[in-house]
């Protein structure tokens, strides 16, 4: 039972890491694009 719970915890961490890392990168890219658009809009004024 201990081995199986350890394995399931490992897979949960692996899946969370595999999902969270690309998701975080995408969110950061979107934020950077939005900030750049805001800066360009402020420069046009």
Sign of CA dihedral 29, 30, 36, 39: negative
Q: Model pTM?
A: 0.53
Q: Give the pLDDT score at 43.
A: 73
**Terminal CA-to-CA distance of the chain, rounded, Å?**
65
Q: Which residue has the tokens 């004024």?
A: 45
The domain total for the chain is 1
At residue 19, the pLDDT reads 87
Q: The domain containing residue 16 runs over which residues?
A: 1-45
Q: What is the pLDDT of residue 20?
A: 86
The predicted structure's pLDDT at residue 1: 53
Mean pLDDT by 10 residues, the chain (45 residues): 75 85 94 92 73
């Amino acid at each position: 039972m201990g081995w199986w719970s350890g394995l399931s915890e490992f897979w949960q961490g692996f899946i969370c890491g595999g999902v969270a890392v690309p998701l975080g990168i995408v969110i950061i890219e979107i934020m950077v694009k939005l900030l750049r658009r805001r800066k360009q809009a402020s420069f046009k004024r």
